[in-house]
Structure 1
Amino acid sequence: MSDQVAVSGSTSSGGKSRDSGQVRAVARATRIVTALAEHPFPLGIVELAQFVQLSPASVHRILVTLVQVGWVEQNTRTAKYRLGMQAVGVGMVGLVSNPVLHDARMFLSRLAQWSGHDAVLSTLVGFKTVQLTRVAGSATEFIEFEPGHPQPAHAMADGKLLMSYMPVEQRRWLYEAEPLRMFTPNTITDPEAIEREFVAIQERGYAVDNYERFAVGRGIAAPVMDTEGRPIAAMLCLGKIDPAQDEEIVQQMLALTREMSERLKGAGDLPASALDLAEPDEEAL
């Protein structure tokens, strides 16, 4: 009888409302986990509420559940929150088992060997870009990166590329929650200027950073697309790249990313883009 009631309820208008609320709760929990992943230090409830644009009460309710299931941990001395061991473990398994990363290493090796520069596959975590895997180029003298170490998306080619596909409302979260930080004199920190940059990226199909994150090197990024023409990841060529090489490198990268997408699609392993899954809801701070 209880099963019948549950089924009946799920088909009623009230059931639909409950389902909608459950989906919204999952989306909010995802935003909280993502915000914790973006920031290198533990965050308090008020800080988290600001970053995810929810009320502190809502954030606290969701955190209670996330702590119970091990995805979030709370420091007993400071009462601040960080990612839990369950989240860390799931992420590490993904790095080992994900077919996109396995295929990417072959294509990154080709780019690194051809260009002499580092070749990287990266994704967005909130408004930070995170390296998933990397192949060093023979001519690299660049700063060492660790997989999983977040970098500011607005200052790097791969981050700008992926952000350009986001709904404008999502990008506004960043401008409202945290000012765009300057790393070099070339870093774009004005919201209107970076929005113009996103338009230019969409028009040409790739992104470049001109010493915007590091004064010693620059990057070029091309998207790995899903079947709907949205990026699942970014391929990044990073190093002391001579601007005179840009056009040739871009053509090589666009060819590699297309080939990688087709290979994943043929194997049934091409995921859908997740860039628009965490849009704002109606709750205001």
Structure 2
Amino acid sequence: MVNTQKYVNNILERNVEKKTGETSQIRSVAKALMILDYLASCQEEVPLTKIAGKFGIAKSTVHGLLATLRDFGYIDQSPFTGNYKLGVRLFEIGSIVAASWDVRSVAAPYIERLVGQVGETVHLVVLDKGEVLYIDKRESNQSIRIVSAQGMRLPAHCTGVGKALLAYLPANELKRIIKTKGLPGYTKNTITDPQVLEKELELIRGRGYAFDIEEIMDGLSCVAAPIFDHSGRACAAISVSGPTARLKEDRFEEITSTVCQTAMEISQALGYKHNPSRS
């Protein structure tokens, strides 16, 4: 087990040793993060004076940091004692991260098999802040490959995986993403009209898969399918991507069938109970 107190002390020592050329904004972020680590190590409510004393920071500065962290939900302040402890927002973020990586570990053998079956690049993504976040990628052995990487973000409206996830969002959440992110065009095939996109998403829900034919990049096509968790939520999506010249007609249909089957197998491994009447 990690010694959290020692870990916090090491962070503090490294912060003290940092060069004076560091900006005040970065130092403020570092102090806020150290406070979070310290509260985690204490595992109980802590008064402001103890936090200030621990780091040798003025009470007024600590108060401002705590107030900001509290306002964003990262810490809670007791209405009775005024002391501080970690907040529910950290639990929410941790749950999102845990869910993403759990999907990744469960999906790994399935997408490795999928690469062998179709001979094209396979991606695993989750929807994060209205964008698709690539959490796994398995390369094909083809000479022409897809330029992508784990940790990459792309717009949701013009990617097969993105549309596969947008299709299962509540209507108000979909409208919020469209309003926030917009529908910028990348190629002549990109959907830039909200009404057209909504109709496309309705079709995706009906058939159970999405595709993008040169919607984000000329010459690139993909087919994608959603992955559902035990609660029936579309928590991730997988796709097979390749040059449009290789993903044609009969082969495209074969790949679509294999992607959908793989997505369903991963969903079932996550505890999803398939309901044929699902809309």
CA distance in 1, matches of 2:164, 2:115: 20
Deviations for 1:174-196, whole angstroms, at most 9, x for unmatched residues? 33334311111110000011011
2:231 equivalent to 1:195: no
- Do 1:105 and 1:135's aligned partners in 2 also have CA atoms closer than 8 Å? no
Structure-1 residue corresponding to 2:128: 125
- Do 1:105 and 1:134's aligned partners in 2 also have CA atoms closer than 8 Å? no
Q: Within 5 Å, which residues of 2 pair with 1:210-225?
A: 210-225=213-228
Deviations for 1:51-85, whole angstroms, at most 9, x for unmatched residues? xxxxxxxxxx9954377959xxxxxxxxxxxxxxx
TM-score by length of 2: 0.60
CA distance in 1, matches of 2:156, 2:216: 9
2:169 equivalent to 1:166: yes
CA distance in 1, matches of 2:207, 2:68: 41
Change (3 A) 1:132 1:140: farther
Structure-2 residue corresponding to 1:20: none
2:108 equivalent to 1:102: no
Match of 2:252 among 246, 256, 272: 246
Change (3 A) 1:68 1:129: closer
What SS class does the counterpart of residue 147 from structure 1 fall into? coil
Match of 1:235 among 234, 238, 253: 238
CA distance in 1, matches of 2:169, 2:203: 14
Higher relative contact order (CA 8 A, sep 6+): 1
CA distance in 2, matches of 1:91, 1:262: 20
Deviations for 1:82-113, whole angstroms, at most 9, x for unmatched residues? xxxx99x9699859x93321221111111111
Deviations for 1:102-133, whole angstroms, at most 9, x for unmatched residues? 22111111111111111111110121001111
What SS class does the counterpart of residue 154 from structure 1 fall into? coil
> Unpaired segments of 5 or more residues in structure 2?
1-65, 76-89, 273-279
TM-score by length of 1: 0.59
> Unpaired segments of 5 or more residues in structure 1?
1-60, 71-85, 271-285
What SS class does the counterpart of residue 188 from structure 2 fall into? coil
What SS class does the counterpart of residue 108 from structure 2 fall into? helix
- Do 1:117 and 1:140's aligned partners in 2 also have CA atoms closer than 8 Å? no
- Do 1:113 and 1:138's aligned partners in 2 also have CA atoms closer than 8 Å? no
- Distance apart, 1:219 and its partner CA: 1.0
Structure-2 residue corresponding to 1:259: 265
Change (3 A) 1:180 1:147: same
The alignment of Structure 1 onto Structure 2 pairs a total of residues equal to: 190
- What is the letter of the counterpart of residue 98 of structure 1? W
- Do 1:182 and 1:188's aligned partners in 2 also have CA atoms closer than 8 Å? yes
Larger radius of gyration: 2
Match of 2:158 among 155, 158, 170: 155
What SS class does the counterpart of residue 261 from structure 2 fall into? helix
* More deviation, 235-244/126-135: 235-244
| C-alpha RMSD over aligned residues | 3.1
- Do 2:139 and 2:145's aligned partners in 1 also have CA atoms closer than 8 Å? no
